[in-house]
Amino acid sequence: MKTTTLAAALLTTLGLSTLAAPAMAYEAGDWLVRGRIINVNPNDDSGTLTLNGVDQGTKGVSVNSDTVPELDITYMLHKNWGVELILGYSNHTVKGEKSWSALGDVIDTKVLPPTLTLQYHFMPDSNIRPYVGAGINYTYFFDEEVKGPVLDVPGAKVKLDSSWGLAAQAGVDVALNDDWFVNFDVKYIDIDTTAHFKNTGAAASAKIDADIDPFVWGIGIGRRF
């Protein structure tokens, strides 16, 4: 009985040791591919409204959030350092707020914001691998449409300027085995744009400056190659 009990204890200890053993560390030359579900949550703030070249003063708009899939690819330059390219697009509606609330929805647009960050991975030899990153974002707006009963008249058009800005991120990879891991990630992206309206009925031309600046929350699964 004592021999059987000792054997069972040794097997249990061995099993626990195997579970506790760290998965294979990241190494230079590794590719990390992650698929995430993200929530793009704008921290929006509008600037001024200009009608026919005349500044109308500061008003307000808001931009709705969107939940979409995202793909990102990291190349490890060193076991601690990696470069990540973030790919995906989302759809957003801009609506009037504060003294512009009577406008309702004013713009519907798709947003393509490829982002490149340099990451530092703190514990690449561990099962839990936190990281931080910083880099640059380019945001392209497409399929823009004028919305709402006030501005959406026949012939009305809107175009949003593309944006360059900085990006910051923090996250963690939690290893499932040598190659697969779960990922949690948050990014802040600096996105500033100007919406240019034409033929809106109220004015021959108008433009609105807007700071969108979203937080992007993500969860997903990744694989090392």
How many alpha carbons lie under 13 Å from residue 219 in its C-beta half-sphere?
0
* pLDDT score, position 213: 92
pTM: 0.80
User: How many structural domains is the chain composed of?
Assistant: 1
Distance between start and end Cα atoms, the chain: 48
36-86 pLDDT, tens per residue? Answer: 999 999 987 776 677 666 666 666 778 889 999 999 999 999 999 999 999
* Percent of the chain scoring above 70 in pLDDT: 76
- Name residue 87's amino acid: L
Identify the domain containing residue 210 by its residue range: 2-224
Average pLDDT over residues 166-187: 96
> Who wins on pLDDT, 46 or 193?
193
The enclosing domain of 132 has a CATH number of 2.40.160.20
Q: For 148-172, how does the pLDDT look when each residue is reduced to its tens digit (9 = 90+)?
A: 766 666 777 889 999 999 999 999 9
Q: Residue 52 carries which side chain, given as an amino acid letter?
A: N
The encoded tokens of residue 81 equal: 């350092």
Q: Quote the CA–CA distance of 60 and 211 in Å, as a whole number.
A: 11
The mean per-residue pLDDT over the stretch 202-217 comes to: 81
